[in-house]
Structure 1
Amino acid sequence: MRATGVSSSPVRHSSPAMEPSALRSLLLLCLLSDCGRSLAALGSFWHVTDIHWDPTYQVTNNPGRVCESTGTRPAPNAGKFGHYNCDSPWDLINSSVKAMKNILPEPDFILWTGDDTPHVPNEQLGEEAVLSIIGNLTQLLRLAFPKTKVYAALGNHDYHPKSQMPPGQSTMYERMAHLWQTWLEPESRRTFMQGGYYTELLLNKTGYRVLVLNTNLYYDQNKLTENIADPAGQFEWMDNILTTAAKKNEKVYIVGHIPPGFFEKKRNKPWFRSHFNRRYLELVQKHHAVIYGQFFGHHHTDSFRMFYDSKGKPISTVFITPGITPWKTTLPGVENGANNPGIRIFDYDPSTLLVKDMVTYYLNLTYSNMAWERWEKEYRLSEAFLVPDASPSSMHTVLEQLAGTGCDLQKYYEFNSVSYDLFKCDGKCRVDHICAIREVDFERYEQCLVKEGAATTHLALIPFLISIALSVHQAAL
């Protein structure tokens, strides 16, 4: 019987293997376990993103015919669960959902932040193909978690043509609202059909709210919104919702696909147009007292973004969850831009909505194709970086640790690609990651590059200066 790496018996936050060997099962249980942590008082939810299903994927000896999403790149030795030059095959997607079901079978809710279709030219898709892919993935999640509320956001690949989200009502918005009708409240369906965004009481609980944004409206590749100050009125709507939330003492989660700020793997690469980025930052600074977490995807990597007030106090954090697709980006200038497939659990305090912790699980794609299917715990935030929770102040502490002289930066860097890129994060890499995390604002990001560049040069001199000092000391002896 072929190993699947997941068990048919539900175990909260753990996933024993189905290998016949008891030792193998015990090993996998240890890899996934949380060392006896008591999570009974906490709530938990899944965040999955960037599935990018490629229905053309096939295991073949011809490396040029494995998948359409590889473009002109060959995919030699492609396996059942995928290839780093390709988007997700169905076996990988099905495996990830089964792992979710086994590790945390009854989450409080699921965040699904989009990008479901493959990286192929528009002419290879079309409206019906896009809707069919989203529909199939919707059905897969609904069958696996029939009683679980899913808060679904649109990615820039969830439209045709891709990235061209209209700033108003459209047939595709209407049809996707129909696909998600069992998850959307009537008012949510109305605003979704008008602009692809909505808000609801989180789990229908008074005092808790979720805003699901269509940040694709702010994407610098979206030609339809280039000259519009407030596409689909989403900024004004967001401002009003958060203002009302403050009056009602509500606590809010913000969910979307494309995050503000810069891509950590390519210097000076923002996603939003500058005026949209500035407006988003201003709204978070204005309403941070009611915002208890921001959850985004798009990068395919594992990272976070910090927001500060005018005095430099950390006030909010964007958590960027890694993607399920292992696809190696073709963005010019990015090296080692693939990742292992990842899925994430967030633990939170049900009484405050404070994010307490997060655990990332992953599939080592190379190992799984060669040996056996194994989803394993990659890391738990509080254990890896020794912080008490995932509050803005704690995430600021993590950032300061990354910016220091210890080994935390290298640890973070390996987590960033979900344990795919294990090369050393050098001085330039350090600057790119630290500044992308620290500064969402365009101007302050540029200032950070200069400041951290100088700091990196200084840090690089420390070993040299120490060696000189030791040599002088030895000579004096």
Structure 2
Amino acid sequence: LDPGVFGDFLCDSPYHLILSAFSYMKQADLQPEFIIWTGPPHVPKEELSTYVVINVIANMTHLTLVLPTAASLSCPGLNTNLYYSPNQVTVNMTDPTGQFQWLQETLELSRQKMEMVYVIAHVPIGYLPYAINTTAIRESYHEQLVKIFHNYSDFVKAQFYGHTHRDSILVHSFKKKKNLKESKLKNFLIKQNILEYCYCIPFNNHSLSLFFPPKDIWQFYLNLTEANLKQRSKWKLEYIMTEAFDIDDIQLHSLHELALRADVMILEVT
């Protein structure tokens, strides 16, 4: 089967698709300050090779300077694939690769420097949006991560994940209290992505998300069927979050109120 110029819902992102996404960002003058790109390779496990990955990255980045983030911002990247439930390599390991210790030390340093922290990873914490009481991360690891983020919730302002191929926002309350201001809340942004390798039904179109923290999120999408038929891409604005969901901004209190409203709406429908 020919997946088309811009690929299929069941394949990795072709070169033309990635080019079209970056071309659109330039053409629309979106001017992102930085781009978050995560995800694992979709290849048979017998073909996985650390040697190949390291050499590919080295070939692409050997002329690229490692630039520091803004003085008041830290963006630690977690390899949460280590904690992924189907990952049999890390079964019975207390702290695979010592990453929990590294994360605590990194967040403690950010606390001392009074830095704002954005955590970036692939496999998310929290419950999966399409399964009841099911996490993607093994339960013991999930508890450790939640505990760490709880302890540093004053500095970890947001967390960005992928993996689920769902456009979703999770608001996690660490303590159940009547007063919202007394609760420890944190938001996790789990976004659709340029790659839409997915066995889930219905399929998702490719997407880009533009964040204006703490004000708004703009979501863009590419109609894959149309793009392949016409042999050209046409990215479009799908929604502006504050307008689509009638909220003032994307700060925690607004997202929490939205979550409460959604619960009421679900109850009314069912």
Identify the TM-score tier after normalising by the shorter chain: 0.7 to 0.9
Percent of residue pairs identical: 31
Q: Contact between 1:177 and 1:184, CA under 8 Å: does it hold in 2?
A: no
Give the 5 Å matches for 1:321-336.
321-329=191-199, 334-336=200-202
Residue in structure 1 matching 2:69, options 199, 202, 206: 202
2:263 aligns with 403
For residue 324 of structure 1, report the CA deviation from its aligned partner: 1.3
Change (3 A) 1:180 1:399: farther
Partner Cα distance (1:183, 1:105) in 2? 24
For residue 273 of structure 1, report the CA deviation from its aligned partner: 0.8
- Cα deviations by residue, 1:301-324 (Å, 9 ceiling, x for unpaired): 111222213244252111112121
1:394 aligns with 254
Which letter maps to 2:132?
A: R
Q: Contact between 1:322 and 1:343, CA under 8 Å: does it hold in 2?
A: yes
1:254 aligns with 119
- Cα deviations by residue, 1:291-349 (Å, 9 ceiling, x for unpaired): 111111111211122221324425211111212123331xxxx532x21000111113x
- Cα deviations by residue, 1:363-395 (Å, 9 ceiling, x for unpaired): 011222234521000111111112222112111
Residue 286, structure 1, aligned to residue 151, structure 2: yes
2:44 aligns with 121
Partner Cα distance (1:367, 1:89) in 2? 16
Partner Cα distance (2:198, 2:83) in 1? 24
Partner Cα distance (2:50, 2:100) in 1? 30
Partner Cα distance (2:176, 2:31) in 1? 41
RMSD of aligned alpha carbons: 2.5
Give the 5 Å matches for 1:319-358.
319-329=189-199, 334-336=200-202, 338-348=203-213, 355-358=214-217
Structure 2 counterpart SS, 1:112: coil
Structure 1 counterpart SS, 2:141: helix
Name structure 2 gaps, 5 residues minimum: 178-182
2:243 aligns with 383
Partner Cα distance (1:183, 1:254) in 2? 22
Structure 1 counterpart SS, 2:110: helix
Which letter maps to 1:335?
A: I
Give the 5 Å matches for 1:160-199.
172=54, 176=57, 179-180=60-61, 182=64, 184=66
The one of the two structures with greater contact order (alpha-carbon pairs below 8 A, sep at least 6) is 2
Which letter maps to 2:109?
A: T
Give the 5 Å matches for 1:367-382.
367-371=226-230, 372-382=232-242
Partner Cα distance (1:293, 1:92) in 2? 28
Partner Cα distance (1:129, 1:366) in 2? 36
Partner Cα distance (1:387, 1:100) in 2? 26
Partner Cα distance (1:335, 1:228) in 2? 34
1:362 aligns with 221
- Cα deviations by residue, 1:205-260 (Å, 9 ceiling, x for unpaired): 1x221111111111112222211111121111211222232222211111111111
Change (3 A) 1:307 1:126: closer
**Higher-helix-fraction structure:** 1
Q: Contact between 1:363 and 1:375, CA under 8 Å: does it hold in 2?
A: yes
Give the 5 Å matches for 1:10-49.
none
Q: Contact between 1:299 and 1:323, CA under 8 Å: does it hold in 2?
A: no
Structure 2 counterpart SS, 1:97: helix
Residue 317, structure 1, aligned to residue 183, structure 2: no
Which letter maps to 1:122?
A: K
Matched length: 263
Change (3 A) 1:265 1:218: same
Residue in structure 1 matching 2:86, options 197, 216, 221: 221
* Greater radius of gyration (CA): 1
